[in-house]
Each structure stands twice: as C-alpha cells, then as structure tokens.
A = this chain, B = another copy of it.
Amino acid sequence: MSSAPQINDPDALVLSPDPSHPANLIPELCAAFYKLGWVTGTGGGICIRTGDKVYIAPSGVQKERIEPSHMFVLPYPQPTTDRIFLRRPALNLKESACTPLFWNAFEQRNAGSCIHTHSQNAVMATLLWPGGMFEISHQQMIKGVRRGGNGLALSYLDTLRVPIIENTPNEEDLKDSMAEAMERHPEAAAILVRRHGIYVWGDDWQKAKTQTECLDYLFEIGVRMKLAGLPTVLN
C-alpha cells in the first residue's frame, strides 16, 4: 500500500525542497496575506488540497510566522466521522478552526484550495450591506471571479453577488449555514460572514488567491462608493 511509507515517516509529507510544495506554499502565502491585512492576530489562512491530501495550518498562531513543520496533513475524503490525520506537528498545536469550513469547499465545489480572511474590506461590506447579499455591478474586476468559484469567469455585464451569513460564537458552527448558503447559491464564488470575514475557494491555490484579490478589491471599492453616495449596482 503506497501510504505505508507516509505512516512510517509522516514528516516526509511536509518536508520538501520544492517551493511549490503545499507545506512550503502555505507559510509563504500566509506571510503575503499578512502584508495585505488579511490574516493579522492569528486569524485567517489558506488550505491546499492535492487530490487525496489536505494541508492545513495550525490554529491560534501568528500566520505570518508558520513553518512547514507546523503543518497538518489530512486524508481526503475523511474515512470516518472522527477527524483523521496523516501527519500532525510535533508541537502542541491544534489544526485550524476553519477545517470544517474548508471541507465545505472541497465537498461542494471540488475545490483544491480555500482561503479565509478577516479583511476589513470584507467586514465593512457585511456592515454596509445589511441584508443577505453583497452586490456590485459594472466593475472590470468582476471578470476575475468564476461562477460558483470553479466555473466560467463572470462577464463585465454580470452582477457579482456574494451571500452573507451571520457569524456564530464558535467558528466550527458556521459549517452548516455556510454549506446551506453554498447550496442555495450555486453561482456564489465565496461566502461572506457578517462581522467576521470571508471564505473563498478555487480549483487550485492560484485561482483561490486571485479570486480573493478580485473580491477584496470589489468589497473595498464597493464600500468606498457606498460611503461616497454612489450606486453600486447599475441597471
């Protein structure tokens, strides 16, 4: 069985000289996201799935200072209802509290990566769009977002709509309302969480990242437009 050597030496799952290995990419991307203001104060992060393995960062740590050896590796799909790991870091760490929410993106959209940010642009958007949906139209950056996060790109003539769900005291408890919102809105490329942040997914980390950049840009300019008294949706 090919997974035997991994069980014998689980550290081989995260130690690689290849900078594009998920265990190297996640620390690099988290440091970049910190500079963008997306993952300060231990919040937020990115997970990467490569076929049957999921790489996830620890919970409650400085996201701009994680190392490959801090990484958790989980099998996908999970074989039982208990959470199973292929590799855990030696340190006394817990996997990211976002894990069940990342799983929504894998299971419902076959995502290869999912990003969670606490960006103030996203949070301000949830405050200035008090209903259940952020909407903006007629912005070039809309073209960088894909239908459902994994389909064809939107057109400049499409209105971008991102569902907003209500926050819960425990991050894990968002799993069901996020799953439900994804099911009800199959064209949604991301889910906003009021007073909290956003979850964005894509076929791979590159698509998840560029879509997060486009969405964050659209939240920022949408907020600026709304505060300037400009309409954010044209007919």
The verdict on A90 contacting chain B, using a C-beta distance below 8 Å, is no
A141 touches B221 (CB 8 A): no
The verdict on A211 contacting chain B, using a C-beta distance below 8 Å, is yes
A140 touches B210 (CB 8 A): no
Contacts of A151 in B (CB 8 A): none
The verdict on A110 contacting chain B, using a C-beta distance below 8 Å, is no
Across the interface, name the chain B residue whose C-beta is closest to A158.
B169
Which residues of A from 193 to 228 have beta carbons under 8 Å from B? 193, 195-197, 206, 209-211, 213-214, 216-217, 220-221, 224-225, 227-228
Residue with the greatest number of chain B CB neighbours at <10 A, chosen from A40, A62, A123, A211 = A40
Q: How far is the CA of A169 from the CA of B225 in the complex (A)?
A: 21
Partner among B41, B124, B227 whose Cβ is within 8 Å of the Cβ of A221 = B124
Partner among B41, B43, B120, B217 whose Cβ is within 8 Å of the Cβ of A120 = B217
Given the known interface contacts A120-B224, A155-B169, A156-B167, the answer about A139 and B195 at a Cβ–Cβ threshold of 8 Å is yes
- Smallest distance from the beta carbon of A95 to chain B beta carbons, Å? 17
Across the interface, name the chain B residue whose C-beta is closest to A194.
B138
B138 touches A156 (CB 8 A): no
A residues with CB within 8 A of B: 40-43, 62, 118, 120, 123-124, 127-128, 138-141, 144, 155-157, 167-169, 193, 195-197, 206, 209-211, 213-214, 216-217, 220-221, 224-225, 227-228, 230
Given contacts A41-B210, A43-B140, A62-B209, 19 further A-B contacts (CB under 8 A): A40-B217, A41-B211, A42-B144, A42-B210, A43-B214, A62-B210, A118-B140, A120-B217, A120-B221, A123-B221, A124-B225, A124-B228, A128-B230, A138-B195, A139-B196, A140-B167, A140-B196, A140-B197, A156-B168
